[in-house]
């Protein structure tokens, strides 16, 4: 499998599941998202690509619900990325389920009232939470809670960006984060 095609597929899947990597999406939602929301392709091309991704084990299907067979990595999505027109051609099989396993993720359990949810954080995201907490006096759990609330409200942003927004709201100097 060419590295370019693998990266292309992973970017497409990561962009689709960026909000909630563990979620199961309907076939109709993905078709609409790729064709109407993002205007990456027409409806029939989206349906064909979904079927090829299922056939080649990049995503799995149960009834009309679809979920990824790879670890979602929002960091690989390039700004302004769109799928290559030839993504339909020679779509390779997915031979490994966890392609981006080198990023170590730890599940954090957060309680929201009566509901418990799990979120996977990379080492850099956990360090960023600790840094914001230490410099603002806000507890780490509260920083994470605000981060998740901001992520839900703004939809298509990743955890790192929502943490940077929280740091900015707290008056932290953005120059130290850029370095």
Q: What is the pLDDT of residue 124?
A: 84
- Give the 3-state DSSP-derived string for the chain, with helices as H, strands as E and coil as C: CCHHHHHHHHHHHHHHCCCCCCCCEEHHHHHHHHHHHCCCCCHHHHHHHHHHHHHCCCEEEECCEEEECCCCCHHHCCCCCCCCHHHHCCCCCCCCCCCCCCCCEEEEEEEECCEEEEEEEEHHHHHHHHHHHHHHCCCHHHHHHHHHHHHHHHCCCCHHHHHHHHHHHCCCCCHHHHC
Q: What is the pLDDT of residue 83?
A: 83
pLDDT, one tens digit for every residue, the chain (179 residues): 477 788 888 888 988 888 777 788 888 889 998 988 888 889 999 999 999 999 988 998 888 888 888 888 777 877 777 887 777 677 778 876 543 333 334 444 444 443 334 567 788 888 899 999 999 998 988 898 898 888 888 877 888 889 999 999 999 988 877 76
CB count, 10 Å around CB of 135?
14
Q: What is the pLDDT of residue 115?
A: 38
Phi, psi (deg, nearest 5) at residue 15: -65, -35
Is the full-model pTM beyond 0.85? no
CB count, 10 Å around CB of 130?
12
Q: What is the pLDDT of residue 132?
A: 92
- Is there a contact between 52 and 91 (Cβ–Cβ < 8 Å)? yes
- Is there a contact between 71 and 13 (Cβ–Cβ < 8 Å)? no
Q: Which residues pair with 36 in a beta bridge?
A: none
Q: Domains of the chain (ranges plus CATH)?
A: 3-88 (1.10.10), 105-178 (no CATH)
């Amino acid at each position: 499998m060419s590295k370019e095609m693998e990266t292309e597929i992973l970017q497409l899947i990561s962009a689709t599941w960026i909000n909630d990597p563990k979620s199961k999406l309907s076939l109709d939602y993905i078709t609409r998202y790729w064709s109407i929301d993002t205007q990456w392709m027409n409806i029939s091309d989206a349906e064909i690509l979904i079927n090829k991704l299922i056939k080649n084990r990049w995503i799995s299907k149960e009834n009309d619900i679809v979920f990824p067979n790879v670890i979602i990595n929002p960091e690989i999505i390039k700004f302004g990325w769109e799928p290559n027109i030839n993504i339909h051609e020679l779509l390779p099989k997915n031979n490994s389920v966890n392609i981006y396993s080198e990023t170590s993720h730890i599940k954090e359990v957060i309680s929201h009232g009566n509901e418990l949810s799990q979120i996977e954080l990379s080492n850099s995201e956990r360090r960023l939470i600790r840094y914001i907490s230490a410099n603002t006096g806000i507890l780490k759990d509260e920083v994470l809670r605000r981060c998740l609330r901001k992520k839900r409200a703004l939809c298509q942003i990743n955890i790192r960006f929502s943490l940077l927004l929280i740091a900015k709201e707290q008056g932290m100097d953005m120059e130290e984060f850029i370095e």
